[in-house]
Structure 1
Amino acid sequence: MQIFWQLRWYFRQQWRRYGGAIVILILVSLFELLPPRAIGWIVDGVVTGEITLPVMLSWLAGIAVLWFVVYILRIIWRVWLFGAAAELGTVLRNRLYRHFSSHPPVFFERYKTGDLMARSTNDVNAVVMTAGEGVLTAADSLIMGLAVLFVMTTMLSWELTVLALLPMPFMAMAVFRFGRQLHSCFSESQAAFSDLTDKTQETLNGVRMIRAFGLEQRQQADFADVVDRVGEKNLAVEKVDAKFDPVIQLTIGMSFFLSIAGGGYMVSQGRLTLGDLTAFALYQGLMIWPMLAMAWLFNILERGSAAWKRLQHIFDEAPEIVSGDAALAATQQDLQVDIEAFYWNGQTQPALSEVNVTLQPGQMLGIAGPIGSGKSTLFSLLLRQQELKQGSISYGGISITEADLHHWRSRFAVVSQSPFLFSRSIAENIALGRPDASMAQIRAAAQAACIDEDIIQFPDGYETLVGEKGITLSGGQKQRISIARALLLEAEILVLDDALSAVDGKTEHRILANLRQQQKQTVIVIAHRLTALEQADTVLVLQHGQIAEQGDHQTLIGAGSWYGEMYRYQQLEQAIKEAK
């Protein structure tokens, strides 16, 4: 029953629905107590010959009307109760989505995508069933069971009632034991389902690589192993689940045997009439559902409890990055970066140290350096995807740790080195950040990103569906669509994180020239191909997490250090390719 206490916050929100459903359920239970007693009177009347046919028919007609009323009331309370439970699923999934969105990337390194999907589907469904079927079985079995026991004890025979209840303690002990087994098995089955979901998602995402390496058979064998483990865990759940019904049926059978045998003896002794025994048997029939419901309730509660623990484990993880409440200026401001040192978790060497730069509105900052020099780390700190503890990053004199996190990130339009496209049309992908943008605005952004000519060549033009993750497009096309999407936002700061690596040099030059014409935007370009930094006002060259060189493109070439040597090497490489 602990799961009901844990969900009390939702029951308080929906107290009208749950309260109304339980009130109607009480009325239904009271109405259902009348027919067995009435039938008992009819039987006694028939045995003694004191009841006439018209009177009997009127009694039967009244019982039929009563059952029809019960039928209508049952529909009403089920709509209220299960409607409230279904809404809990919506609340939990929205809460999970907001929770996922508030976490930095490190959170998704701890939890696999398939695991999070499984918690958002199977675990939520189990909790919803607890808030619906669980509340139903708990309330219905308790109300009906107590009502029937009261009538059987006070109006018929308390001795016969005690006799009928003798097998119940044995059922209670068995159900409690099976419930604990079910909790453990269901937790393991949900964890196995998480592994299956993650394996499926991972395999489908990497299907091209799997085919390219000829790994289909091996992947099929690995997938079959995961499926078999899930099947074993689910079978363990079903084995425990299968123990409930035989115990309940045996208990019900023993209860009926004892009550009929004892009742028959009491009728023969004149201590009970045949009508009373008939009514008692009918009331005992009403007790079948409460007995079944109590076993089913334990089943539901253990599943719900296991699922809620998995969800609560996610909810209990507080976001490592907390938003401030300071308001940023409405106009563009200077971006000041003063990083003393930044360490990744578990690292003893700083990923960045002594990095200081000021970027004024409308300027272009280039960032270069060998692999592992700290370029992407600097990008993560700028977006506050990682928390800087030694140093500060400020915008217009306000530290980003004090600024409203949503407002700060909304100042950026980002194109990452691995662009992500949704399974929608090209136009919808470009207008992702501005769904109200007109087609003219979408095309203007596409032209600035040098992708418009490619798009109009497609049979459906801007309405072309790109497939999951843009699978139908080339790498360069995906990058340019992502750039168009970022340009359409007209954000204050545009960040290109190696976002031109898949386009040719001529197209790269045209895109960067278009960006320079938009003097309103501040641009940060992180690139391995140094021609992308030719138009930057300032270029930072990072090595081992520190600024090794700083200046404009021409100055760094003339310095003859890493930047100049790498630029000449890339120029030579390009000349050799063109010569071929």
Structure 2
Amino acid sequence: MKELRHINKYFKKYWFKLFIGILITILARVFSLVMPSYVSKSINTIEAHFKGSLSGEMAKNQLLEYILIIIGAALLSGLFTFLMRQTIINVSRYIEYDLKNEVFDHYQFLNLGFYKKNRIGDLMNRISEDITQVRMYGGPAIMYGMQTLTLFVCLVPLMFIKAPTIAFYTLVPLPILSVLIYQISKIIHKRSTRVQEYLSTLSTFTQESFSGISVIKAYNLEDKVNSDVMALAQEGKETSMDLAKVNAWFFPLMLLLIGISNVFVIYIGGQQYINGEVSLGVIAEFILYVNMLTWPVAVVGWLTSIVQRAEASQGRINEFLKQRPTIVNEVMEITPVRGKIEFKNVSFTYEDTNIEALHNVSFTVEAGQTVAILGKTGSGKSTILDLVARLYDVSSGEIRIDDTPIKELNLNSLRSAIGAVPQDAFLFSDTIANNIRFGKEDAKQAEIEATAKEAVVHENIVGFTNGYHTVLGERGITLSGGQKQRVSIARALIKNPNIYLFDDCLSAVDTETEEEILQNLKKASAEKTTLIVSHRVSSGKNADKILILDQGTILQEGTHEELNTMDGYYKQLYLDQLSTKD
């Protein structure tokens, strides 16, 4: 259970509630033990009456008294059982809540490389299915475990006090059961791990299928995807059946052993009754004891299964929790950012692909300047923006913001000063207004509409039936590519940051709309540092500086007029796009 030690901190956090819950559990079990004893007394009273040693009136009075005690004890046991569930099960929900928050927070702090290596479906499964299994350990397992322990601690001594010989034979099967449970639990642990891994695979497959449904339909791949799902379902059935077959041994074995215990009670108790060593009530009492032990003994197997599943699930959770983010906020105090950006001999290689995206890149952007970065696909343009936002750290060289090494800036201050529009515009499944408000949480409707107009998307939005209250599909699928880009631009504009990072964010709009947006951006980003990545000359012709990248190095640098007077990539690109426009 070494993996489950991780949640001990939550047990410490809720120790008082757990203590009260355990105390109530003990009281509930103690009151439940009253019934067998008074059933025994009731049977002995009836036996005494038939033997003539107790009058009918006295027997009736005693029976009524015993029945009232049995009912009262049962009611109290039921009440405490209810309170027990309200405390211990609630604690398990608190632990589930805390653990989900811990995992989610950790996910957010891990670097982008982590998300390239791991599938979304697997991440989702660990924060849902796996944590649910751990919750069962933090609640039901503790509750029923304490019930079982309390019952054994109270009941076994009581049985030996009342009839040692019967008690011995009654309890003989239990050690055998313990050995069987130990052997079976080891198999359950392995098979539980395989089941959880399968669920991650299934979650990943279905998540990708639903996200890419348009591609599946466009390529008429429905039958293939269905066959793949069937193959996964078959694998899942076999994996789950392997686990179910092992679990299926528990209850039959337990019922068999409990049945043997009942036979011992009747046979050994019957002999002792014939010999006058015990009363008839004791035999009835022991039969009730054995049946009271049926559920606790049976639950041992179930608890073992819960613990093994939780151990496997927590192990999968810990696998991610042990991963440390490569981007660490090393400065706690707030560090204001004005906007000067300087790259000094920066090189960067992606760990997952080992591709060198930038090699010995150096340039300076003064605060308030606009710089356009152009180049072929894969030349390293987007990497520069990612490094400015410190989504990655450089492999070598140095990036300075306002003449301060980027690692010496408070990470939150840096990113709060940046308004980024990624190449692949991402919108959430929320209203359009809230997607724009994502850039400024307290933005009023008037501000939202003003920035939407600057992004030239206001007319499109008001044309929808619900306008700004239109709820978008997953990843903004309701909108066209150009509309998604413009809503993303509005989100960045409403933030009003000191640094704008535009990553080819006008690729899906026509040239006329692009020109209008660029003019609006020029006004909005006045005195703001702006980096614009693009494949179009039109996006950078009004920039203070243009960088031409090729295979991770700066090929050309200068203004539109300067670069257009010399032969090279920029001039050829300008002429090609000019002729295409004509």
Deviations 1:169-198 (A, max 9, x none): 221121111111111111111111111111
- Which of 490, 493, 514 matches 2:520? 514
Check conservation: 1:337, 1:393, Cα contact below 8 A. Answer: yes
AA of the residue aligned to 2:84: W
Distance 1:561 1:435, change over 3 A: same
Q: CA deviation at 1:442?
A: 0.2
Q: CA deviation at 1:505?
A: 1.2
Residue 342 of structure 1 aligns to a residue whose secondary structure is: strand
The yes-or-no answer on 1:281 pairing with 2:287 is yes
Distance 1:348 1:463, change over 3 A: closer
Aligned pairs, number: 574
Match of 2:34 in 1: 34
The yes-or-no answer on 1:150 pairing with 2:157 is yes
Residue 355 of structure 1 aligns to a residue whose secondary structure is: strand
AA of the residue aligned to 1:574: K
Q: Distance in 1 between matches of 2:219 and 2:45?
A: 85
The yes-or-no answer on 1:58 pairing with 2:65 is yes
Match of 2:431 in 1: 425
The yes-or-no answer on 1:69 pairing with 2:76 is yes
- Which of 378, 388, 395 matches 1:389? 395
The yes-or-no answer on 1:222 pairing with 2:222 is no
Match of 2:300 in 1: 294
AA of the residue aligned to 2:409: A
Structure 1 gap segments, 5+ residues each: 576-580
| Percent pairwise identity | 30
Match of 2:561 in 1: 554
Match of 1:523 in 2: 530
The yes-or-no answer on 1:334 pairing with 2:344 is no
Q: Distance in 1 between matches of 2:250 and 2:205?
A: 33
- Which of 483, 486, 489 matches 1:483? 489
Residue 407 of structure 2 aligns to a residue whose secondary structure is: coil
Match of 2:193 in 1: 187
Residue 268 of structure 2 aligns to a residue whose secondary structure is: helix
Question: Which deviates more from structure 2 when the two are superposed, residues 310-319 or residues 284-293?
Answer: 284-293
Match of 1:82 in 2: 89
Distance 1:233 1:145, change over 3 A: same
Check conservation: 2:399, 2:406, Cα contact below 8 A. Answer: yes
- Which of 445, 456, 464 matches 2:451? 445
AA of the residue aligned to 2:39: I
Q: Distance in 1 between matches of 2:360 and 2:229?
A: 48
Q: Distance in 1 between matches of 2:24 and 2:352?
A: 59
Q: CA deviation at 1:216?
A: 1.4
Residue 542 of structure 1 aligns to a residue whose secondary structure is: strand
- Give the TM-score taking structure 2 as reference length: 0.96
What is the root-mean-square deviation of aligned Cα atoms in Å? 1.6
Residue pairs, 1:19-168, within 5 angstroms:
19-49=19-49, 50=54, 51-154=58-161, 156-168=162-174
AA of the residue aligned to 2:151: M
Q: CA deviation at 1:539?
A: 0.8
Residue 287 of structure 1 aligns to a residue whose secondary structure is: helix
- Which of 396, 401, 410 matches 2:407? 401
Q: Distance in 2 between matches of 1:327 and 1:161?
A: 69
Distance 1:239 1:331, change over 3 A: closer
Check conservation: 2:255, 2:294, Cα contact below 8 A. Answer: no
Distance 1:113 1:138, change over 3 A: same
Q: Distance in 2 between matches of 1:142 and 1:397?
A: 66
Q: CA deviation at 1:349?
A: 6.7
AA of the residue aligned to 2:62: V
AA of the residue aligned to 1:144: L
Deviations 1:352-394 (A, max 9, x none): 1221222222211110111111112212211212221311112
Match of 1:578 in 2: none
- Give the TM-score taking structure 1 as reference length: 0.96
Check conservation: 2:269, 2:278, Cα contact below 8 A. Answer: yes
- Which of 230, 246, 258 matches 1:252? 258
Q: Distance in 1 between matches of 2:355 and 2:75?
A: 77
Q: Distance in 1 between matches of 2:352 and 2:428?
A: 35
Structure 2 gap segments, 5+ residues each: none
Distance 1:348 1:310, change over 3 A: closer
AA of the residue aligned to 1:561: G
Q: CA deviation at 1:398?
A: 2.2
Check conservation: 1:329, 1:396, Cα contact below 8 A. Answer: no
Deviations 1:397-448 (A, max 9, x none): 3222122222211211111111011122211111113232111000110011
Q: Distance in 2 between matches of 1:349 and 1:80?
A: 55
Q: Distance in 2 between matches of 1:385 and 1:452?
A: 31
Q: Distance in 2 between matches of 1:553 and 1:486?
A: 26
Distance 1:143 1:4, change over 3 A: farther
Deviations 1:74-102 (A, max 9, x none): 11111110001011111111111111111
AA of the residue aligned to 1:465: V
Distance 1:20 1:452, change over 3 A: same
Residue 556 of structure 2 aligns to a residue whose secondary structure is: strand
AA of the residue aligned to 1:269: N
Match of 1:537 in 2: 544
Question: Which deviates more from structure 2 when the two are superposed, residues 346-355 or residues 540-549?
Answer: 346-355
The yes-or-no answer on 1:460 pairing with 2:462 is no
Q: CA deviation at 1:5?
A: 4.0
